[in-house]
Structure 1
Amino acid sequence: MGIKPKQSVIFFIFFALLQSTCSLANADEHEHSLALQPDLAHQRPEQHSHDHSEDTHDDAVQHQAVSLSKVQRSMAGVEVTKVYTNVYAQTYYAPAEVKANGYTSYIVSPRTESVVMNRYVVLGEKVQQGQKLVTLFSHEMAQAQADYLLAKNEWERTAKLGSETVSESERLAAKTRFNAAYGQLIALGLNDVAIQKLHSPTSDTLGQYTLVAKQAGVVLKDNFSQGQRISAGSELMLLADETTLWIDAKLSVNTKFDLERVSQAFVSVDNRDYVAQIIQQTHTIDTQTRTKVVRLSVNNESDTLHAGMFVDVRFVVTSEHKAMVIPESAVIRGVDQNWLVFVEQVDKSFLPVQVKMGPQIDDQRMVYGLPEGSRVAVKGAFFIASELAKSGFDPHNH
């Protein structure tokens, strides 16, 4: 049976559509096959690329350490120190003034109203115990000296008389008057030597008396002139034994440290240090200067410190907690502005290690991130860094 023309056209169109569908299916299958192939086809190259990256990192780690010859170490002054976490010392400074030791000072003053007749020493002069200082005149002293001489003569005469001539009560009264007159001279400032001189033909005029040094020392104050009338108790001179002096340090109220944790204290003047000991501290604040006074004692047998001098006091305070503290010279900035230290390795090379900075402790710095016992280059770190820069290596692979 023959195919009609109309049926022929329809069959052709159906056949073309069927062929097109088969082609699309093959194409999809081919694309799906290709989509599965890259993981297999490129798996080895990717693995090769990863291996190459690890090799590069290993090379970087191997080459970031800097090796120095003995000559380079010597020229750069490289010093290495093992560092550990430990207690540390922090220094506090305070202005201070040297003062006479109040416990070894002596004020020279008349005990009755007097007039200055003569002086024998001047301001700043060193005197010995018993040395004459000043001669004064006093009406009260004249009366006391006269009463003493009369009482002494009466007692000596009475003591020679027998009991049949002088009663026991009269004898006791004479002795009492003598002792009282003697005590009055002592109270007015005369010593035994001065009192004995009253019996000498060459003794001073009644009313005149001389004050002598009760101790060896230096004349620190001299507040009188010859001919001046001085009231009782007025300070004529101040004698001080300067072998031990006081140092009054003024600490700001913002300075907060426990004085009980002060391990050492030094007085500094003219590039010289003197070891000092804390002996007192005030519990009040000066309302004008907003400071409190800490008093120290310092040995001055060399006689180089003197009352009135201004000095600096350095308090060395031991920390309450442990920390890792290294010299600031050991820390440098890396290319990315992070802080680095150079740690010596077993082969004597130096490896840059990043650390976190803590507070400054005098000329040292508290750091975090270093293992205990690390051998850190505390001197010469800048030279090591320059050698690292010459190699063109960035420690942080930037």
Structure 2
Amino acid sequence: MMNVKFKRTLAFFIFVINLHSTNTMAVSDDHTHEIKSSDKPHSKSEVHSHAHDEPQTIELSQVQRAMVGIEVEQVMPRHYEQVYYAPAEVKANGYTSYIVAPRTESVVMSRHAVLGEKVSKGRKLVTLFSHEMAQAQADYLLAKSDWERTELLAREAVSDSQRVAAKTKFDAAYGQLVALGLNSLAIQKLHSFTRETLGQYTLVAEQAGVVLKDEFSQGQRISAGSELMLLADERTLWVEAKLPASADLEPDQIVKAVVSINNREYVAQVIQQTHTIDKQTRTKVMRLSVENPEDSLHAGMFVEVSFYVISGRKEMIVPESAVMRDPDQNWVVFAEQSNKTFLPLPIKLGKQLGDKRIVYGLPVGSRVAVKGAFFIASESAKSGFDPHNH
């Protein structure tokens, strides 16, 4: 009896063990199947990753284009303006300026115009006294009297040689006064001179202008040729721009020159370039002529000059607003494709030209988004964003 009961217990224990082993193998097979099936999504992820290596086009709706104000322009190689800036100073026009100076050693008696005053042609400027002028005036008065008396006499009373001698002496005396700086009007007034005023003479303005210099005092002895005053016609002035000695800029290359001061601009004309270098500033001078109809420019003013030069070669140029960075921090522009999508094209930046930029690597004829590129870049970044970090 005990033997039969033991056999039954042993058989039940073996059955339980076999049942547990079968369940364990089933679970193991299921787990293996899950692992194998999980390989499939991983493979798709790799494919997805490779797809991200290729540039993706960005598609925008008409509503988005209109809302952002996207504008597209075709970019072709073209010449461009280069601008050179230089400090400059306004100078009196040397071709229309007039130096007032005595032609013989003289003493200043009185002045009739002051520094900065505008004078008209024929205006009295300064009265001088000269011993040589006194002698010349006396000789003229004698010669004039002689000639007038000779001219009134009958031809029978005076020989031809005497008549010619009197006329020649008068002409020489008149020429001497002109050589000393008297004009015809001043010479005509000599007959009213008294002994006290003999030797005095007045220099007058030979042209209208502004008194820019008057470096003398009353009673001062002035040598012949010394500058008493400088008269300048400021309707046209010079501007002398100082350029670096290394500046490769020639007058025939300049298409436009603009003088700027106090937010005002004046178009100028390049008239000369010096071929010597200033020993102190190590600069070379470019001289310009500028019209001054409103009398707003004056000699001595400091201004800035902009020289506009056309480039020698053509370049691909886009607005700065068209240039963006891609997620890898490379410079790109967005080119419109035939299907109206935008494709980021890598470029290299060149020289900046104001609000534009020379770019390299952009295919000729590309239709580039010149406005709204920032919005396109943000749409590109959103389309490339993977929330699962795959």
Question: Shorter chain as normaliser: what TM range?
Answer: 0.7 to 0.9
Q: What is the aligned partner in structure 1 of residue 189 from structure 2?
A: 197
Bigger drift between 368-377 and 341-350 goes to: 341-350
Q: What is the aligned partner in structure 2 of residue 298 from structure 1?
A: 290
Pairs within 5 Å for 1:241-280: 241-280=233-272
Amino acid at match of 2:239: I
CA distance in 1, matches of 2:375, 2:225: 71
Aligned partner of residue 56 in structure 2, secondary structure: helix
Provide TM-score, normalisation by structure 2.
0.80
Pairs within 5 Å for 1:380-391: 380-391=372-383
Aligned partner of residue 69 in structure 1, secondary structure: helix
Which 4+ stretches in 1 moved above 6 angstroms? 57-60, 201-204
Aligned partner of residue 306 in structure 2, secondary structure: strand
Q: What is the aligned partner in structure 1 of residue 64 from structure 2?
A: 69
Aligned partner of residue 141 in structure 2, secondary structure: helix
Amino acid at match of 2:56: V
Match of 2:363 among 352, 371, 396: 371
Whether the aligned pair in 2 keeps the contact of 1:198 and 1:204 (CA below 8 Å) is no
Relative to 1, partners in 2 of residues 1:60 and 1:225: Cα closer, same or farther, differing over 3 Å? closer
Tell me whether 1:206 sits opposite 2:228 in the alignment: no
Tell me whether 1:139 sits opposite 2:131 in the alignment: yes
Q: What is the aligned partner in structure 1 of residue 215 from structure 2?
A: 223
Ranges in structure 2 where 5+ consecutive residues have no aligned partner: 1-39
Whether the aligned pair in 2 keeps the contact of 1:265 and 1:314 (CA below 8 Å) is yes
Tell me whether 1:318 sits opposite 2:313 in the alignment: no
Tell me whether 1:360 sits opposite 2:352 in the alignment: yes
Q: What is the aligned partner in structure 1 of residue 323 from structure 2?
A: 331
Bigger drift between 101-110 and 298-307 goes to: 298-307
Q: What is the aligned partner in structure 1 of residue 80 from structure 2?
A: 88
Whether the aligned pair in 2 keeps the contact of 1:90 and 1:362 (CA below 8 Å) is no
Q: What is the aligned partner in structure 2 of residue 7 from structure 1?
A: none
Whether the aligned pair in 2 keeps the contact of 1:185 and 1:195 (CA below 8 Å) is yes
Whether the aligned pair in 2 keeps the contact of 1:66 and 1:351 (CA below 8 Å) is no
1:58 Cα shift?
Answer: 12
Aligned partner of residue 158 in structure 2, secondary structure: coil
Q: Deviations over 1:339-368 (max 9, x none)?
A: 112234556654432212223334432112
Q: What is the aligned partner in structure 2 of residue 342 from structure 1?
A: 334
Amino acid at match of 2:297: L
Pairs within 5 Å for 1:129-168: 129-168=121-160
Whether the aligned pair in 1 keeps the contact of 2:251 and 2:273 (CA below 8 Å) is no
Tell me how many residue pairs correspond in the alignment: 347
Identity %: 67
CA distance in 2, matches of 1:354, 1:281: 44
CA distance in 2, matches of 1:309, 1:79: 45
Amino acid at match of 1:103: Y
Amino acid at match of 2:67: Q
Whether the aligned pair in 1 keeps the contact of 2:90 and 2:302 (CA below 8 Å) is yes
Relative to 1, partners in 2 of residues 1:310 and 1:363: Cα closer, same or farther, differing over 3 Å? same
Whether the aligned pair in 2 keeps the contact of 1:86 and 1:323 (CA below 8 Å) is yes
Whether the aligned pair in 2 keeps the contact of 1:65 and 1:352 (CA below 8 Å) is no
CA distance in 1, matches of 2:129, 2:80: 64
Relative to 1, partners in 2 of residues 1:140 and 1:201: Cα closer, same or farther, differing over 3 Å? closer
Relative to 1, partners in 2 of residues 1:204 and 1:366: Cα closer, same or farther, differing over 3 Å? farther
Bigger drift between 354-363 and 195-204 goes to: 195-204
Amino acid at match of 1:230: I
CA distance in 2, matches of 1:375, 1:329: 14
Whether the aligned pair in 1 keeps the contact of 2:68 and 2:375 (CA below 8 Å) is no
Relative to 1, partners in 2 of residues 1:140 and 1:71: Cα closer, same or farther, differing over 3 Å? same
Q: What is the aligned partner in structure 1 of residue 111 from structure 2?
A: 119
Amino acid at match of 2:218: Q
1:384 Cα shift?
Answer: 3.6
CA distance in 2, matches of 1:328, 1:203: 83
Q: Deviations over 1:72-95 (max 9, x none)?
A: 325xxx544332101111111111
Match of 2:173 among 178, 181, 184: 181
Bigger drift between 93-102 and 330-339 goes to: 330-339
CA distance in 1, matches of 2:202, 2:346: 78
Whether the aligned pair in 1 keeps the contact of 2:52 and 2:384 (CA below 8 Å) is no
CA distance in 1, matches of 2:336, 2:175: 83
Tell me whether 1:236 sits opposite 2:228 in the alignment: yes
Q: Deviations over 1:210-238 (max 9, x none)?
A: 11111111111111122221111110111
